[in-house]
Structure 1
Amino acid sequence: MNMVGFCGGGLMHESGTPNEIQIFFETLKFVEQVTFNDLDCSLVLDRLYRRYVRFEDIDKTKQVMDYYKTVLVKKSEDESSNPLLKYFRHFDSSVSSALSFYQAFGEYLPVKISVVDLPWYLLEKHRPLEEYDQLEGEPFWMRDYTQEEVERLSNL
């Protein structure tokens, strides 16, 4: 089973298995269902989960993740007492890296969840953002690579 994680800028974090990431997002969906807020939760529950964070949505997406963090994590907790904290830290670090990379090089390498195992990560870096934008169904990080897809991504 491939490992997946949060990526952004020149940074990638190994956050867990696809099932662990799925459970994290199911927890966020539960929070969204039982709490009332005026935030656009689809920025996290759809864009980040299934696609990537658009540059113009970074601040709003961070606000949503910060909201989830305040609901799910006590200030004094560490990762040993609350494993969800790891995901919030990986997300925050990926956002910082993406913004730093943009400031330094003028290119936005988006915040997203991706397979982080080599060589799959190297293949995934070739996938055009348009494919993420058009994606329906489960995220790429939840799918197995077919031989045809490996060949196609290798030739981009």
Structure 2
Amino acid sequence: MNNLKIGFVGGGLINNLGTNSDMQLFFDCIQFYLVPKYPDLRWSLLTDRFYRRYLKLNELEQAATLMRYVEAEFKILDNNAIDINEIKSGKIKSDLDINQKSLFDIFCKYFESFNECIEYVKYYISKYGNEYRYEPVRVAITTIPYLMNYEQIPLSTFDKLNPNEKPIWWTGKIPNID
């Protein structure tokens, strides 16, 4: 399971984004650059709910607003805002193009993917209304066949994660489902 890909899923969409280290770096940058700069915003929607669990339907708009803050800040942070030495040396496996100019450019497909997932949910709600069964927007293992098992994990399992527990997508350990 060393070659697992991680991405964003939701609204029936599956977007492969990269390695678990890439995903961790994305959220580390949010934690490091945005949380202290805008302490009054509800960052836990991204840094806990989205990062470790899933976004509830009623959280999507606020999460999208927060992600727009992230996009704006990443556009003004150049690529030396992150330590890329371990990626360059091969110590950390990465699918990121670290030669891009800004953090926004490095993580551009993350923003596109997040927005696509939200748009898919909105589309299905507009098409099916109350008949639409919400498929949560979340970070997930996107490698087949592991994705199939990941999708079977009850949302209550994510809800029960302890505050200091790593996300299931990071560990790659899919719990037994009875």
- Shared fold (TM-score, shorter chain, > 0.5): yes
1:115 aligns with 2:149: no
Structure 2: which 5+ runs fail to align?
77-96
Given the superposition, is the C-alpha separation of residues 102 and 127 from structure 1 closer, same or farther in structure 2, using an over 3 Å criterion?
farther
**Identical-residue share of aligned pairs (%):** 26
Q: CA deviation at 1:33?
A: 4.0
Q: Is the 8 A contact 2:141 2:172 kept in 1?
A: no
* Structure 1: 5+ residue stretches without partners: none
Report the TM-score, using the length of structure 1 for normalisation. 0.86
The answer as to whether partners of 1:101 and 1:109 remain within 8 angstroms in 2 is no
Distance in 1 separating the partners of 2:112 and 2:157: 27
Who is 2:115 aligned against?
Answer: 92
Partner of 1:12: 14
Alignment coverage as a number of residue pairs: 146
CA RMSD of aligned residues (A): 1.8
Match 1:45 to one of 44, 47, 50: 47
Question: Match for 2:173 among 129, 145, 148?
Answer: 145
TM-score scaled to structure 2, two decimals?
0.76
| Residues 10 and 101 in structure 1, CA contact (< 8 A), matched pair in contact too | no
Q: Residue 13 and residue 56 in structure 1: after superposition, are their counterparts in 2 closer, same or farther (change >3 A)?
A: same
Pairing 1:66-77 to 2, within 5 Å after superposition: 66-73=68-75
Deviation at 1:37, TM superposition (A): 5.2
